[in-house]
Structure 1
Amino acid sequence: MATILVVDDELGIRALLSEILSDEGHTIELAENATQARAVRERMRPDLVLLDIWMPDVDGVTLLKEWGSAGLLTMPVIMMSGHGTIDTAVEATKFGAIAFLEKPITLQKLLRAVEQALVKTAPPRPAPASPGMPSYARAEMSPLQTAPASIGGNSHMPGNSLASEQSFELDRPLREARDAFEKSYFEFHLAKENGSMTRVAEKTGLERTHLYRKLKQLGVDLSRNKRGGTG
């Protein structure tokens, strides 16, 4: 999870990016011009900035240069523009931008750029305490994650959770049994991926929009699977 500052003078762009990135578990700060962006940067240190180039007061490249010269460019910056050129992208990169996104920005390109930017700046993850499952995964593993792992194995044996037994009770109509299995299946992957719809879509082989519809149909509670306030 990261804190991301989105700077764009278009309300629709800010709202869309905020919705998408919030869904991925990030905390979003919004600014519609350079003045507001400076205030947010002064108040906090975002992990990433999505910065529009063409803004009414001060353009994004000028703000990027300003932060760089003042020693405030301590976070990766991704530039955005609907009227950018190769020269503009090169100039932005020259002054410290890590990437350039051309509007209209596709979901796939946005999430890939954000993920790559955050990976490049993230501290190294500690080595696993033992072979197999990393220590952080063992510590955060919940009953929700462990129950579906027994599907097809010894889920019928004593000692398994009541939820597991109820979810896979075979003495019920096929549709109900299938829905129960699918709900647990998606809940397992949501918990495993910390609520990231993008990674769940990749793991399950579903289109993101199809995945949303499926989760809604199954009554999966997305709010409890979203990443919390820890980084």
Structure 2
Amino acid sequence: MEIAINDVVKSYGNILASDHISFGIEKGSVCGIIGPNGAGKTTLIESMLGLRKQDSGTITIQGLDTIRDHKKLVYRVGAQLQESELPANIKVKEAVIFQAALFGVRPNVNSLLEDFNLTEKAKSYCSKLSGGQKQRLFILLAVIHDPDIIFFDELSTGLDPVSRQEVWNYVKKLKRRNKTIVVSTHYMQEAEEICDNVVLINRGAVVDKGSPESLTGKLPFR
């Protein structure tokens, strides 16, 4: 199992954000974590990344504990988080070069910009990008060090249909490269489009899990 979540509990005061959550994710698969706003998806993603420490339970990635072995996992994992943001005065190409330097890699930046359809925006300020352009840039930054596992939190929220399809296409390309991908969303359509398996979460607890096809029509929310 590439990722194993075992009996994870995380609370904020009286709010139980993760209520004894357990499931596993196979290598090379796309797993969707689906639930309404406030269901606990972001808390779970951040716990899986080792950015938040759960109150109890364990999370392992490639057999490594996400808290104890966090430094070892940094180069194996990439992430685009819901609150991802860049300084307003940094340009697109500068952001890519800076991210590459952080991970100690030396990619062909111009080729990457072309792959993500951002060549014409190379000298534009990140703050001036459209929603779809920003998401493509965040995906580029998340995978620049060629991680084994990639997390996308609310990948296509707020995007127009064309931009959403473009983003989905990038995820499919990553899957074809045998990357393990975790996507949180509240769109069942998104899960049907890109996910192999789905974990339904509501009020911090797992409601159901299985393939998108098997779960369609069983959602406790729309």
TM-score normalised according to structure 1 size = 0.29
Larger Rg: 1
Higher helix share: 1
Which one scores higher on RCO, CA 8 angstroms, separation ≥ 6?
2
TM-score normalised according to structure 2 size = 0.30
